[in-house]
Amino acid sequence: MKLMVGVGAAFDINSGHLKDAPVWMKNAGLQWLFRMVMEPRRLASRYLKNNPRFVWLIVLQLLGLRKYQLT
């Protein structure tokens, strides 16, 4: 796959199915937290499992212990 576009909850928010985060939360980069509070059963396991792994892989890359190919 050459291009992937992640839209998250954009379609649900724009169609009115989900409430959007307040502007101050968006500006602070906390829209993910608002979504997790609104849908904890669906999102908590995803955020608590994937986000720490993502941060760990970034740390390894920044320390030069792991390199990833950009294709």
pLDDT for the residue 9: 87
Contact 33, 25 (CB under 8 A): yes
pLDDT in tens, 49-71: 888 998 999 999 999 999 887 76
- Structural domain including 28 reads 10-62
What is the rounded CA–CA span in Å between residue 47 and residue 32? 9
Q: Is residue 71 part of a domain?
A: no
Contact 65, 39 (CB under 8 A): no
61-64 LR contacts (CB < 8 Å, sep 24+): none
Q: Is residue 20 part of a domain?
A: yes
Query: How many domains, in total, are found in the chain?
Result: 1
Q: Who's near 1: CB < 8 A, 6+ residues apart?
A: none
pTM: 0.65
Q: Is residue 5 part of a domain?
A: no
pLDDT in tens, 9-50: 889 999 999 999 999 999 999 998 999 999 999 899 888 888
